[in-house]
A and B are shown apart, each in its own frame.
Chain A
Amino acid sequence: MSNADVSHQSTPAPASTTTTGETEETVRESWRTYDVTGEPAVAVEDLNVHYGDDHALKDVSMDIPEESVTALIGPSGCGKSTFLRCLNRMNDRIKAARIDGSVEVGGEEIYQDGVDLVELRKRVGMVFQAPNPFPKSIRENVSYGPRKHGDLDTSLLSRLLGRDDAEAEEALVEQCLRDAALYEEVADRLEDNALGLSGGQQQRLCIARALAVDPDVLLMDEPASALDPIATAKIEDLIGELAEDYTVVVVTHNMQQAARISDQTAVFLTGGELVEYGDTDQVFESPESQRVEDYITGKFG
């Protein structure tokens, strides 16, 4: 992506000291700073998350450029999902979670009083690790969001009053399914129950469902981890295409996948720290942190 410009000042400013891991390596501020030209789509500042006494994310700051794919990688349990859930406040569902810090989406702080969660989640969509379509028809799955928001009105009442948006719905469903690269496969069975689709199809349906509310940012938590290689390849292609219109943040623990699909990569390591963040090529080819290098070359993690 060209709207992001990388600069690594080598001012050694030790930010925090890791207590985990073999090497007592100091995480340098510069490794995880990434200069975004223009407005970042998402700006995270000193984010800390605790689950009870468990400190799951430590002082994470991260600017995510728009219309690009940002990959979050790291060993399991390092807080990637936690970080992702902070961006659309799905963590509010977890009673034990305590969140401090600041997250700005499109320049607006989302951790402040008066934030409309419904509005936030319309702007920041999410696709989960395991496909979770509703036990409804394919069509209803896609149009679920717009219907519930009142943007598509196909209720009994509106049909009685002759105000219904059946055609708009038709168009929207087709468009979203096409964008999710699923339309050809399901065009003739839109009324079938979504649970009858294969895992990969279900996951693309979930992507279509998220696209239907026209989000700015799309969060994906290991969207291909439950899928077979062919379905995975389809999802990977799709992510590349989506980045033309959306800001995609994708969690994966598969490093080849991150290298293939992403523009930027952020590496979290055990303990909930963001250790390194930069252009994907640079992070994979010449990581600055020893621990990140070990992780990427498979020596640990």
Chain B
Amino acid sequence: MSTVTRHALVAGETTLREYVSTGVMAVGAVLFLASWAVLFQWVGERTPVLGVDLFTLFGVLLLAMAAGIAGVGVASRLGHVSASPSASAGLVAGSLFGGIGFVTGGLVASQTLGMGTVGWLAVAVATGVAAAALAVVPREDVGSTLPAALFLALVGALLVTDTLGLGWSWSPNDVSATFVGSVMVPVVTIAGSLVGSWSAAKARAGFGTQGREAGAFYLIRLSVFGMLGVLTLLVGFIVKNGLETALTNAQFGLDGHLDLPGALFGVALPDWSLPFVDVQVPFVTNVSQSLYVDVPGLAPAILGTLWLVVGAMLFAIPLGLAAAIFLAEYTESRLFRQLVEVATNGLWSTPSIVFGLFGLAFLVPRFGGGKSLLSGQLVLGFMLLPLVVITSYESIKAVPDEYRDASAALGVTQWQTIRSAVLPAAMPGVITGVILGVGRIAGETAPLLLVYGGPPFASQNPNVLSSFQFTSSPPFVSNTALLDAGSALPYQLYTSITSGRLPGQGAPFTVQDFGWGTALVLLVVVLGLYAVGIASRLYFRNKLYNE
């Protein structure tokens, strides 16, 4: 089988090819980050760097990348550097470069040269086909570098000559947006750096199969990096913007005492006061509007979320756990199990707003006709239900049969076995699942808009425990707090978006700052639950391993 080609088993020293392509990738990374910084307006687009405009510098660096890539490709083709390229860069690279060629050619023809539709379409097709051919026909080392280099060189030239610069703007006829230079320059620079770095990554690994792997992994890693970047930015923005609001008039000292009004928890307890570190965070403990507070706070929203979650858990956990036990331990009918699985998965994927509509149709008329805490609790309970069923079912099923056999062998009844052997073993999974599920519903807003959300800025806390009243006529027991509309953290964030301003006067911050503060507290609550959930999973998993 002489068809098989062989290459060196062990690579020699780092070659010139690797040095150059590593350099190109480094420049690409710098351009990539710098362009995002410009888009986020962390760096002004007029910042002079080393005596030249930032955008001119972008252009110069893109040209340098182009030169590096083209150099490596051509040197490899001429045999000046070692590499193991395939015969062709392949259809994927071909269509990618064809697409880039089409778009670039079309834009240049229609915008820069001002051609009509027929004209620019012809140019676009021509450049597209040319770019694709350039990628596909020559050997891979040329095919995957030259088109990229041409694209980078074109973009670089446009930037250096200021053809595409701060003064540039483009309003296409059929799209109601205007593309201006200050945005488009970083955008095309990002595109250029991606194409260039991808090409350089292939070159660095010496083209061929390894080169394609390197190129693909570069893009995959970048995607993951991007995702984590989004996460970091999100959390970063909220912490940065919310912290000041959340800590308005806050006091931290060592010589204080803990003042907790008993009424905070809705219980008629005397206010109690403990010697303690002096921590006062009015944003967390104040009501959202009142003549008597200077700092509007989140206490009604926090307590509202607390009660919603507690109610939902009281409803969903017994129901869901019982269903999971029946499914995993009792039922022998496959059909029934499949039916329930389809139903729970259906519930899981039902959009939250649909749960809200259901609450509006089913619960609201039956709890006095208005929005109420009780409706909110039940609707969130319905949403929590499938999560409890799914996670409990999975963790009960994961309990090894030996547990059941060992117990059954002792002559214990099935229920005893479940209670004393299966459930304790499944508990860690159930707990973790419930915590994660609660984290999800605690941030749920949409159904609350329909069944629970009260005034945008609540002036009192929900007093559930002290509001029970017993009467001699049906329904014998009532609780006004449970039947009142109210606030919750996510709902509060919504109202701070939809309300133009904070009620009353003299609040030390704007409604938007109030929103940032709310977002921070909500994030702390929800991510706190998630962190606990994930940590407990890790903890139980480690315990399992170490046993």
Which A residues fall within an 8 A CB radius of B? 105-106, 108-110, 112, 114-116, 118-120, 122-123, 146, 148-153, 155-158, 161, 163, 165, 168, 172, 175-176, 211-214
**Which 4 pairs across A and B sit closest by C-beta, in order of nearness?**
A114-B11, A214-B4, A150-B86, A214-B1
Query: Known contacts A150-B209, A152-B3; is A108 also within 8 Å of B90 by CB?
Result: no
A123 to B8, CA, bound (A): 11
B208-221 CB contact bits vs A (8 Å, 1 = yes)?
A: 11100000000000
Answer yes or no: B253 CB below 8 A from chain A CBs: no
Query: Known contacts A150-B209, A155-B91, A157-B88; is A122 also within 8 Å of B10 by CB?
Result: no
A35 to B402, CA, bound (A): 52
Contact present for B10 and A115 (CB under 8 Å): yes
Which B residue sits closest to A152, measured CB to CB?
B3
Contact present for B1 and A212 (CB under 8 Å): yes
Which A residue sits closest to B90, measured CB to CB?
A157
Answer yes or no: B9 CB below 8 A from chain A CBs: yes
Contact present for B94 and A118 (CB under 8 Å): no
Contact present for B6 and A172 (CB under 8 Å): no
Give the distance to chain A from B138, nearest Cβ to Cβ, in Å: 12
Contact present for A150 and B9 (CB under 8 Å): no
Contact present for A153 and B3 (CB under 8 Å): no
Say which residue of B3, B6, B10, B12 sits within 8 Å of A146 (CB atoms). B3
Contact present for B9 and A158 (CB under 8 Å): no
Given contacts A156-B91, A158-B87, A211-B1, 19 further A-B contacts (CB under 8 A): A105-B9, A108-B10, A115-B9, A115-B11, A116-B10, A116-B11, A118-B210, A119-B7, A119-B9, A146-B4, A149-B4, A149-B5, A150-B5, A150-B209, A151-B3, A157-B88, A172-B3, A212-B1, A214-B1
Chain A to chain B contacts (Cβ below 8 Å), 30 pairs: A106-B9, A110-B9, A114-B10, A114-B12, A115-B10, A116-B7, A116-B10, A119-B6, A119-B8, A119-B9, A120-B9, A123-B6, A146-B3, A148-B209, A149-B209, A150-B5, A150-B86, A151-B3, A153-B87, A157-B90, A157-B91, A157-B94, A158-B87, A158-B88, A161-B137, A168-B3, A172-B3, A175-B1, A176-B1, A212-B1
Total residues of chain B contacting the partner, CB 8 A: 22
Chain B residues with CB under 8 A of A146: 3-4
Chain B residues with CB under 8 A of A115: 9-11
Answer yes or no: B65 CB below 8 A from chain A CBs: no
A158 to B136, CA, bound (A): 10
Which A residue sits closest to B1, measured CB to CB?
A214
A158 to B90, CA, bound (A): 9
B196-213 CB contact bits vs A (8 Å, 1 = yes)?
A: 000000000000111000
Chain B residues with CB under 8 A of A213: 4
Chain B residues with CB under 8 A of A172: 1, 3
A116 to B12, CA, bound (A): 11
Say which residue of A123, A151, A168 sits within 8 Å of B5 (CB atoms). A151
Which B residue sits closest to A145, measured CB to CB?
B4
Chain B residues with CB under 8 A of A120: 9
Chain A residues with CB under 8 A of B9: 105-106, 108, 110, 115-116, 119-120, 123
A28 to B4, CA, bound (A): 43
A161 to B139, CA, bound (A): 13
Chain B residues with CB under 8 A of A123: 6, 9
Most A CB within 10 A of own CB, among B4, B7, B210: B4
Contact present for A151 and B4 (CB under 8 Å): yes
Chain A residues with CB under 8 A of B208: 150
A108 to B90, CA, bound (A): 33
Chain B residues with CB under 8 A of A148: 209
A213 to B6, CA, bound (A): 10
A75 to B389, CA, bound (A): 46
A150 to B8, CA, bound (A): 16
Chain A residues with CB under 8 A of B136: 157, 161
A149 to B213, CA, bound (A): 12
Chain A residues with CB under 8 A of B1: 172, 175-176, 211-212, 214
Which A residue sits closest to B89, measured CB to CB?
A157
Chain A residues with CB under 8 A of B8: 116, 119
A93 to B344, CA, bound (A): 38
Chain A residues with CB under 8 A of B137: 161
A150 to B4, CA, bound (A): 9
Chain A residues with CB under 8 A of B91: 155-157
A149 to B85, CA, bound (A): 11
Give the distance to chain A from B449, nearest Cβ to Cβ, in Å: 48
Chain A residues with CB under 8 A of B88: 157-158, 161
Which B residue sits closest to A114, measured CB to CB?
B11
Give the distance to chain A from B17, nearest Cβ to Cβ, in Å: 14
Chain B residues with CB under 8 A of A165: 3
Which A residue sits closest to B94, measured CB to CB?
A157
Give the distance to chain A from B84, nearest Cβ to Cβ, in Å: 9
Which B residue sits closest to A149, measured CB to CB?
B209
